[in-house]
Amino acid sequence: MSKKIILSGIQATGKLTLGNYLGAIDNWVKMQEEYECYYMIANLHSLTVRNDPETLRNNTLKILAIYIAAGLDPDKNTIFIQSQVKEHAELGWILDCYTYMGELSRMTQFKDKAAKHADNINAGLFTYPALMAADILLYQADLVPVGEDQMQHLEITRDIAERFNNLYGETFVIPEGYVRKASKRIMGLQDPTSKMSKSATNLNDVIFLEDEPEVILKKFKRAVTDSENIIRFDIENKPGVSNLMQIYSAITSKTIEEIEKEFEGSGYGNFKTKVAEAVIQKLEPIQIKYKELLNNPEYLEKIYTKGAENARELASKTLNSVKEKIGIIV
Ligand code: TYM
């Protein structure tokens, strides 16, 4: 039996965070043996906000380096840059024409980003989910591992695919989202009621994957908790402590009950240090490999060139079948 297909990706905007790592990359690494995986760097999606061109170019390569440093094996997975597989933009346009303004205007990410970038509410920001649907559907993905914040985009992808299939017959596999419970939504360290995000203005809110160990320790030590001084999971009343427990659980694979037991009678100071140490221990080897890879641009180029070639094979097959069905001469 052939393996099930996975596709996922990360935008090339900004520096990657612990949320991206635990919510996405770390799960991808765990899935690479069992599935046929396509992992991309979504640099076309990055254009929905303004970027300095040089920074966008560098970020694209940095994300590729993180993927590999974190353990994605380029020989086992197809790792590629979205813009290098032109089928994405082409199917993106086609799917724009099968996506309704009403459903797009309900997207939380659109509303959030439109509020944040009030001076640049461009059409791409609005139709963003149709391009994301194209990313997924081109590869006939069965499973899309993402953090919880992307689930709404996955739902609309399923709706678009079903709509298309109903009109033209079976064309797309209807993808399922995969969200890992322990890491589905890593929250900010300063504001544990909102998601840890690349675009946070308070840098103490976010652990960046490039942060030095001392910085990571300092940020965890400053993390907002509460006055109870008991390590107990209760998202509603103890969002800060619960978030730290979730991070610790995602990194160590210990259950919440095991963590409560481990830190029974311990104060927050010791707990925060232990969480920081676990994160540092996990990230340090990745950071070392990452720096080595960035010094080897020829190797990175080889990976993304081969990745795009592989990706194109399946993507062009799907796109051609779509075009035939809707009356576009191939
Ligand atoms: P992006 O770049 O915002 O985030 C990349 C991945 O990281 C996850 N994530 C988190 N998970 C848990 N806690 C957090 N605090 C956290 N922050 C981010 C996201 O859920 C995501 O899985 N639209 C996508 C990129 C994309 C894509 C795709 C994803 C483009 N095409 C096709 C899957 C399939 C995005 O902006 O993710």
pLDDT tens per residue, range 311-324: 999 999 999 999 99
Compute CA distances 210 → 69, 176, 219, 264, whole Å: 12, 31, 13, 32
pLDDT value of residue 310: 98
**For strand 176-178 and strand 143-145, is the pairing parallel, antiparallel, or unpaired?**
parallel
- pLDDT of 264: 96
Element holding 5 (H helix, E strand): strand 5-11
pLDDT given for residue 14 in this prediction: 85
Q: What is the dihedral of CA 263, 268, 272, 273, to 10 degrees?
A: -80
For the CA of 153, the closest atom of ligand 1 is: 23
Q: Is 322 in the pocket of ligand 1 (CB under 6 A)?
A: no
Look at ligand 1, atom 36, and give the residue with the nearest C-alpha. Answer: 11
Tokens of 176: 């399922």
- Report the C-alpha gap between 136 and 42 in whole angstroms: 12
Collect all residues with Cβ–Cβ distance below 8 Å to 323 and sequence separation of at least 6: 94, 329, 330
Please work out whether the CB of residue 177 comes within 6 Å of at least one atom of ligand 1. no
For residue 155 and ligand 1, the question of a CB distance below 6 A is answered with: no
Q: How far apart are CA 144 and CA 159, in angstroms?
A: 15
Q: Which pLDDT score, from 0 to 100, does residue 252 have?
A: 97
Q: How far is the CA of 9 from the centre of ligand 1 (A)?
A: 7
Mutate to test the pocket of ligand 1, among 8, 13, 17, 20 (most ligand atoms within 8 A of CB): 20
- pLDDT given at position 270: 97
Q: Which residues of the chain have pLDDT under 70?
A: none
Tell me if residue 125 falls in helix, strand or coil. Answer: helix
- Alpha carbon distance 266, 162 (integer Å): 52
Confirm or reject: Cβ of 219 under 6 Å from ligand 1.
Answer: no
The closest residue, in CA terms, to atom 20 on ligand 1 is 147
| DSSP bridge pairs for 8 | 39
Residues with active-site annotation: 113, 195, 198
User: With contact defined as beta carbons under 8 Å apart, do 107 and 156 qualify?
Assistant: yes
Atom of ligand 1 nearest to the CA of 184: 12
pLDDT, residue 24, reads: 97
Q: From the DSSP assignment, how many helices (H) and strands (E) are in the chain?
A: 13, 5
Nearest CA to ligand 1 atom 27: 9
